[in-house]
Structure 1
Amino acid sequence: MTSARIRAAHAGDAAALHQLHCATWREVYADLVPPEVLEERERTGLARWEQVLTDEGGMTVWLAHRDGTPVGLARAEAAGVQQVRSLQLSELYVLASEYGRGTGAHLLELAVGDAPCMLWVARDNARAVAFYRKHGFEADGAEQQVEPWGALPIIRMVR
């Protein structure tokens, strides 16, 4: 099976990215965060994607699609000088129907390449943790809770 086609997203993709982001969150986080977190993301997420995609100095958002249907997204950003890595993978989500098809790996490659990088991932998202380990990331012991997401525990992974 081949990876989905991937391209840089543009301002006209905000609604599609919002719907995709909500769908992937429902698949991944339904058992990890309270329902109101998912509801809030659905209510407010479109405005966030519109802002991200129209920020002229912003980062590239990669959008994967299969047969014209959005199936994955990724973006990275500068993490800042006080961080353990200067590059942070801020989002990488694919629909469950894309698992094992190479789409996540290709999105990761486009977003960060082989650069030293950091990311935060839900501690209890075993599939994502295993995916990142497969691609050279290791947990470095940093952990925190995201209060707005129902105190979701997240861990930092670096490579």
Structure 2
Amino acid sequence: MSAPNARIRPATVLDAPDLAAVHLQAWRERYGDLLPEDVYAERAEHGPGQWEAMLADTAGPTTWIARRDGRAVGFAQATAPGAGEVRSLELTYLVVLAAEQGRRTGTHLLQLAIGDAPCQLWVLEGDERTIGFYGHHGFAPDGAHRPAFGGHLTEVRMLR
């Protein structure tokens, strides 16, 4: 028998500490030694306040939080990036802890955040697992690149 799906709901300002913790843990799991420790230290110091401010903005985008057994395991958020972008919707965050991957939580978060809308997103260059996940959901790289994490890494844009 398969495990039940994670429970997903819109996040509130009270979820800020959990979102910050999941964000930091997922970065450590995904990027490990690719990023210098000061990037993680900055995220640990400023993440909770940044999430609190973002979630307190009632005009801001909806952030979806996934919980399993009462513990935050992932989140997603999409925004309107503004004029001049190739898509009017951007998947800003889709973060799922490593232990939660393969349980369809990412797929459910993606569906809630963007549905089947045309969208853009950025993913770490060479991250074939993540690129494959998005490819499965109709995204493809369009050749655009940008520096990420203070220039330590490079991201590629994917479009649907």
TM-score by length of 2: 0.95
CA displacement at 1:35 relative to structure 2: 1.8
- The match for 2:128 is 126
- The match for 1:63 is 65
- The match for 1:156 is 157
After TM superposition, the structure 1 = structure 2 runs for residues 29-108 of structure 1, keeping only pairs within 5 Å, are: 29-108=31-110
Identity %: 49
Cα deviation digits, residues 50-95 of structure 1 (max 9, x gap): 1110001000000000010000000000011200000000000001
Please tell me whether the aligned partners of residues 71 and 98 of structure 1 are also in contact (alpha carbons under 8 angstroms).
Answer: yes
Secondary structure, counterpart of 2:33 in structure 1: coil
Please tell me whether the aligned partners of residues 86 and 120 of structure 2 are also in contact (alpha carbons under 8 angstroms).
Answer: yes
Please tell me the residue identity of whatever aligns with 2:62. Answer: T
Cα deviation digits, residues 14-60 of structure 1 (max 9, x gap): 11111111111110111322221111111111111011100010000
CA distance in 2, matches of 1:146, 1:99: 23
Deviates more, 1:42-51 or 1:122-131: 122-131
Please tell me whether the aligned partners of residues 64 and 76 of structure 2 are also in contact (alpha carbons under 8 angstroms).
Answer: yes
Please tell me whether the aligned partners of residues 39 and 149 of structure 2 are also in contact (alpha carbons under 8 angstroms).
Answer: no
Tell me how large the CA RMSD over aligned residues is.
1.1
CA displacement at 1:147 relative to structure 2: 5.4
Hey, which bits of structure 1, 4+ residues long, moved more than 4 A?
none
Please tell me whether the aligned partners of residues 122 and 158 of structure 2 are also in contact (alpha carbons under 8 angstroms).
Answer: yes
Deviates more, 1:122-131 or 1:87-96: 122-131
Secondary structure, counterpart of 1:14 in structure 2: helix
Please tell me whether the aligned partners of residues 78 and 86 of structure 1 are also in contact (alpha carbons under 8 angstroms).
Answer: yes
Secondary structure, counterpart of 1:37 in structure 2: helix
Deviates more, 1:50-59 or 1:118-127: 118-127
TM-score by length of 1: 0.95
Q: How many equivalent pairs are there?
A: 158
Please tell me whether the aligned partners of residues 78 and 90 of structure 2 are also in contact (alpha carbons under 8 angstroms).
Answer: yes
